[in-house]
């Protein structure tokens, strides 16, 4: 027995609307089966595939790229290098994003340290200035 669209929505965290969208967009590896009354019936493999696609999307992979990967998988063996190239390309994208995030985290961590020190010392008011003051725009290097 398969899973209803509601059950799959609950298990994946996707809305019913999103599941229908993924189906229309050709994101599912296998066509969704239908009962005699037309209701969709999903398999555990569909849920696993959707879980992977959710990770792809949350990592910034465009729908077109997911669709291309899905098409390659549907074609079967013989195109593994193309799949690998697609995945490597996205891996490089994520690695670059992680490096950017690490740099951002370093800056924010530094700012947190400065603020913690000033708040603890009671000198936090030097971290910003009243923008309406006659001295012009606030310019505090550590703000």
What CA–CA distance (Å, rounded) separates 42 from 64? 23
Q: 43 versus 124: which is more confidently predicted?
A: 43
What CA–CA distance (Å, rounded) separates 123 from 120? 8
pLDDT of residue 129: 57
Mean pLDDT of the chain: 90
Residue 87 corresponds to which tokens in the numbers above? 């995945």
For 49-64, what is each residue's pLDDT tens digit? 999 999 999 999 999 9
| pLDDT band of 1, cuts 50, 70, 90 | confident
For 118-136, what is each residue's pLDDT tens digit? 999 998 888 875 555 544 4
Burial annotation 62-75 (CB, 10 A radius, 16+ → b, else e): eeebbeebbebeee
User: CA 40, 43, 47 angle in degrees (round to 5)?
Assistant: 100
| pLDDT band of 139, cuts 50, 70, 90 | very low
Contact 93, 65 (CB under 8 A): no
């Amino acid at each position: 027995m398969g899973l209803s669209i509601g059950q799959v929505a609950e298990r994946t965290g996707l809305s019913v609307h999103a599941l229908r969208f993924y189906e229309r967009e050709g994101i599912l590896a296998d066509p969704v089966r239908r009962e005699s009354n037309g209701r969709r019936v999903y398999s555990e493999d569909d849920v696993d595939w959707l879980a992977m696609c959710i990770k792809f999307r949350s990592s910034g992979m465009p729908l077109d790229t997911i669709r291309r990967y899905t098409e390659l998988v549907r074609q079967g063996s013989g195109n593994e290098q193309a799949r690998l190239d697609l995945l490597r390309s996205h891996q490089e994208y994520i690695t670059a994003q992680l490096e950017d995030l690490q740099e951002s985290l370093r800056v924010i961590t530094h700012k947190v340290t400065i603020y913690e020190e000033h708040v603890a010392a009671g000198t936090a008011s030097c971290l910003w200035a009243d923008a309406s003051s006659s001295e012009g725009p606030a310019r505090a290097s550590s703000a």
